[in-house]
Amino acid sequence: MLAPVASRKDLMDFTDTRDVVSSPDFDAAYLHLTGDPYVTLRQRGDFVKGEYRIGVMYGMINGSAHSDFVDFHFQGNEEMEDAFGEGEATLDGDRLVFELWHYNGDEYTFECERRR
């Protein structure tokens, strides 16, 4: 049996810009190589689009909002190479856990806080 789909009223609003504050995969120097790292999400209904810039990675996001997470596909660049994959952004209290799963096998996790 399939799980029930969240109704629009059950969806959280993910529209926000979040600063990347840490990662178990990269040190702070890498995260800030090209400026302040961030993730921006814009939601309309259950559709979510946005962008990210973290270290030498940047890209565009297109995905779907669910009750407390967004699943998405991304297209961008990493160290001057094309980067493609899937990911997930999950709310954990006031934090957003942003994950990128590259089709070539690399997986990265970032902890984000609401921009002040």
pLDDT in tens, 67-116: 889 999 999 999 889 999 999 999 988 899 999 999 988 999 999 999 88
How far is 107 from 62, CA to CA, in rounded Å? 18
Q: Which residue has the higher pLDDT, 80 or 54?
A: 54
Q: What mean pLDDT is reported for the chain?
A: 91
How do the domains of the chain map onto residue ranges? 12-114
Q: How many CB atoms lie within 10 A of CB 98?
A: 26
- Residue 74: which residues within 8 A CB-CB, separation 6 or more? 52, 59, 60, 61, 62, 83, 84, 85, 86, 87, 100
Q: Is the pLDDT of residue 10 over 90?
A: no
Structure tokens at 46: 């259950």
In one letter, which amino acid is 90? T
Q: Is 8 helix (H, G, I), strand (E, B) or coil?
A: helix
Residues 17-42: what's their mean pLDDT? 97
Superfamily of domain 12-114: Calycin beta-barrel core domain (2.40.128.20)
Question: Is beta strand 95-102 parallel, antiparallel or unpaired with respect to 16-22?
Answer: unpaired
